[in-house]
Structures are given as C-alpha cells and as structure tokens.
C-alpha cells in the first residue's frame, strides 16, 4: 500500500514503513526551522508538491522560500558536471575522499587533495553568483554580508577547477606562516625530516608564495632540510665554470670567517670579496647556489645560507667542490 498524491508521487512505503524523500524532506525542514531551500533546478518539478505538503500539514506560514539554481557545467561548458570529469581532468568533485564499497573505486576529495576549507567555500560561492563588484577573495563573514539570491546567474556556471587552485594559492598567502608550517610538518615527516618548528616557519615564510598546495612546498624547498645528493646536469653544464671549484673553495673560506652571519652581514663580506677579486658576480652567485641547492632554484642566496647556518653552508660547498671539480 502506498499513499500517493494526484500526480502519483509516492510519499510513504508501507512495505518498509519508511517515508520517501518528498515527505521526509518536508518534515525535516519544518522541524529544523529551515528558512530557505536552495537547490538545483532538477528539483523544480517537485516544488509544487512540496508546497502542497506544507499546506496540507498546516505549515504554510513557516514554509521556507524556494530557489532553484542552474546546474554546474563541465569545465568545457557542455553538459552537467560529473564525477567522471574530475577523474578525467584530475580534480576532486567530492568534499572528502570517497571509497565506493561495491567497486572499491576511490574518488579524490578536496580535503585530501590539500585544499584549504576557506578556499573551497570561496571558490564554490562564486560559481553562478557574484557580489556585484570585482572582489573575488572573501571571508565567510563577507560572503554572508554580500550574498543576495538576485545576483545568482540564470544560466549554468562552468566548473573552472583551475580557479579553485588559484583560490587555494591566495589563501595560503593570507594564512599566518605558523599555520602553514603546522600543515607542512607532516609532509616533512613523510620524507624523514625532523626540523625545529622555528626553522619550518621561516622557510614557509620565504617559499609559500611559490606554491598552490602545502604539499608542493617539499618539492620547492626540500634543500633547506636535506643537502643535495646530486647536482642538476643542465645547471652544472650552464653554471659551473672552469674556475668554479677554485672560486668556491675560496668563498667557503671567506664564509667560514664571517662573524656576523646575518643576511646583511654575509652579503657585505661576500660582495666586497667579489669586488676585491674582480670576479664576475653572476658566475660566483650561480655556482654558490648550485653548491647549496643542487640546481638553479630558490630564493635570495644569502637567505638560503642564513637559514642553513655557517657550518652547513661551508660543508655543502666543500662537498660540491669535491663532486664537481
């Protein structure tokens, strides 16, 4: 036996004594004192039934306002967004990682992929809605203050997952270095690195503007925590000159003698030495970077050596000379 409305929609199944979505949804929203129901346009045909149910229960005075929004579209814009689009293009479509109990298939989640919650909220809020100005990065309080249903688009919004990555980058820059460092510590441990938290905070402050995800910090700044075990072949060919071994040996002695090992203290001594010797500044600094980093990347050289400390800096230089001479 089923209780049906005039359109033959099932409201209650006596076989298992359970209400269907139509009935359960109405009762739940009423008891939860929901004021607005905002859902996809595929539910528009059910809206009249839900209104009739509110009236039938005598809840018309507290009935929520209904809004039906266009569906999210594929990144290309043709057709509704689906899980397959995420699998195909490599972006998550679920908030959390999902393991299908039947097939064993795993679908990536925003949390496990390294997205910050604030970035995801901001990104999703602007899919099919705009605040009426050019502002893009908004806190939850700002979104609440600015949100107006009348500014929602009447056409479907493309799911621009690259914009989601951009938002994550913005929020990483906004967060205090200490918070990002807390998130980076587990990544360091995965690579067998235990480092003083103060050092992690310092490195994060130098390097976080170069990444869109916290996990990318390791690839970007691992040289701060582990000495290079090899030297990039292309960089060596381009930057390591015939006299580089001799110059780096001299520079290691100069650095070992520096008393004020601050960034400014190092820079003055080294630059004065380069000028005195008549060496080419670019050649010296490029070779210096290669000895400490193992390739041609990283921030200002004296920032790197300051973080590493005098002893580690000199040790890396001597090892590079031995390997590359």
Reduce the DSSP state of residue 51 to 3 states and report it: helix
Contacting residues for 123 by C-beta, under 8 A, at least 6 apart: 163, 164, 167
Spatial contact of 114 and 214, defined as CB atoms under 8 Å apart:
yes
Active-site pick, 80, 83, 215, 241: 83
CA–chain centroid gap for 15, Å, is 48
Crossing angle of the two packed helices 263-277 and 244-256, in degrees rounded to 10 = 130
Nearest by Cα to 25 from 15, 7, 39, 41 = 39
- Give the burial class of 23: count Cβ atoms within 10 A of its Cβ; 0-12 exposed, 13-18 middle, 19 or more buried: buried
In the annotation, is 83 catalytic?
Answer: yes
SS3 percent helix, strand, coil of the chain, rounded to 5, is 55, 10, 35
Structure tokens at 176: 């205090």
Instruction: Encode burial over 69-93: b for 16+ CB neighbours within 10 A, e otherwise.
Output: bbebbbbeeeeebeeebbeeeebbb
| Distance, CA of 28 to CA of 160 (rounded, Å) | 34
Pairing outcome for strands 10-13 and 98-99: unpaired
| Distance, CA of 179 to CA of 121 (rounded, Å) | 19
Kindly list the catalytic residues: 83
């Amino acid at each position: 036996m089923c209780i049906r409305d005039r359109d033959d929609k099932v409201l209650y199944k006596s076989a298992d004594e359970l209400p269907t979505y139509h009935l359960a949804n109405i009762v739940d929203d009423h008891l939860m004192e929901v004021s607005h129901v905002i859902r996809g346009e595929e539910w528009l045909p059910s809206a009249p039934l839900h209104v009739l149910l509110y009236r039938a229960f005598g809840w018309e005075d507290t009935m929520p306002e209904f809004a039906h929004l266009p569906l999210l579209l594929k990144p290309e814009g043709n057709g509704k967004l689906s899980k397959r689009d995420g699998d195909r293009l490599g972006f998550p479509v679920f908030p959390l990682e999902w393991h299908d109990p039947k097939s064993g298939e795993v679908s990536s989640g925003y949390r496990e992929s390294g997205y910050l919650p604030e970035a995801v909220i901001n990104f999703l809020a602007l899919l099919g809605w705009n605040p009426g100005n050019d502002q893009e990065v908004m806190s939850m309080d700002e979104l609440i203050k600015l949100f107006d249903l009348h500014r929602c688009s009447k056409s479907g919004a493309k799911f621009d997952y690259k914009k989601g990555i951009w938002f994550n980058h913005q929020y990483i820059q906004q967060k205090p270095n200490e918070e990002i460092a807390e998130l980076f510590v587990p990544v360091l441990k995965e690579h067998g690195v235990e480092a003083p938290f103060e050092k992690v905070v310092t490195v994060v402050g130098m390097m976080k503007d170069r990444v869109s995800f916290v996990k990318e910090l390791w690839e970007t700044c691992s040289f701060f925590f582990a000495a290079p075990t090899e030297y990039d072949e292309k960089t060596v060919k381009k930057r390591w000159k015939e006299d580089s071994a001799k110059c780096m040996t001299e520079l290691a002695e100069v650095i070992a003698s520096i008393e004020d090992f601050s960034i400014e203290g190092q820079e003055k001594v080294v630059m004065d030495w380069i000028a005195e010797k008549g060496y080419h500044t670019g050649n010296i600094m490029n070779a210096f970077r290669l000895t400490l980093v193992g390739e041609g990347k990283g921030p200002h050289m004296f920032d790197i050596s300051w973080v590493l400390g005098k002893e580690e800096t000199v040790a890396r230089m001597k090892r590079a000379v031995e390997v590359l001479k």
